[in-house]
Chain A
Amino acid sequence: GQQLNQSPQSMFIQEGEDVSMNCTSSSIFNTWLWYKQDPGEGPVLLIALYKAGELTSNGRLTAQFGITRKDSFLNISASIPSDVGIYFCAGLEGAQKLVFGQGTRLTINP
């Protein structure tokens, strides 16, 4: 099956810093999604992208659907303690199946 390569695998930042992470694929996806997982819970959808080149914001989060359809980026501005967690990219494959990246674990030092 398809694989998504997500980087970095972990990040340690200071509160207030901006965060950038990305996801690449060897194959094309027509939909990219970003999820966040808090400790002990299931992932929750942050942003969905449906069009190549699309740039979408959700509060301090901004995500982009790469023009090649093989990558996506997520940025978090002015990080706060509640941003801590694991961030997953996902690509929609075929009939409603999601393929996930390995995740980026974000740790914030106050």
Chain B
Amino acid sequence: DAGITQSPRHKVTETGTPVTLRCHQTENHRYMYWYRQDPGHGLRLIHYSYGVKDTDKGEVSDGYSVSRSKTEDFLLTLESATSSQTSVYFCAILAHGGGELFFGEGSRLTVL
């Protein structure tokens, strides 16, 4: 258990509403990531963070923003949710070097 908690675990919302997903870690790791998982696409990186207030875009960052004001929390925000953002979102931390990520349990978001 790498001490990662995602919230909420499930959310249904309407098109055009803002949504924030939270990732919380208890072990003070520097790197944190947000991925989305969709059938046929595997896991695609949205944004990642390499320290407090240090973030960078991944391959599918359009329509998403992130913030990291504390080491333990990494927030993913959809300013105006669209149906194409219906997905399962996974947070991950880099617990060791060499790409060994530990993932949270996922947050399932449905945008109607």
Contacts and interface: CB of A to CB of B under 8 A. Distances in A.
Nearest to B48: A97
A103 B39 CA distance: 9
Interface string B36-49: 00001111110010
Q: Which 5 A-B pairs have the closest CB atoms?
A: A42-B103, A92-B99, A100-B43, A102-B42, A1-B59
A1 B103 CA distance: 22
Interface in B67-112: 90, 92, 94, 97-106
A70 to B, nearest CB: 17
B92 to A, nearest CB: 7
A88 B45 contact: no
Interface in A66-108: 88, 90, 92, 95-103
Contact of A97 (B58, B105, B106): B58
Given A1-B59, A48-B98, A102-B40, A97 B45 contact: yes
Interface of A: 1, 4, 6, 9, 31, 33, 40-45, 48, 50, 88, 90, 92, 95-103
A110 to B, nearest CB: 25
Interface in B19-70: 31, 33, 35, 40-45, 48, 50, 58-59
Given A45-B101, A99-B45, 10 more contacts: A6-B42, A33-B99, A40-B106, A45-B102, A48-B98, A50-B98, A96-B48, A96-B50, A97-B45, A97-B48
Given A1-B59, A41-B106, A96 B99 contact: yes
11 contacts: A42-B90, A42-B92, A42-B105, A43-B90, A45-B100, A48-B98, A90-B43, A90-B99, A98-B101, A100-B42, A102-B40
A33 B99 CA distance: 8
B28 to A, nearest CB: 16
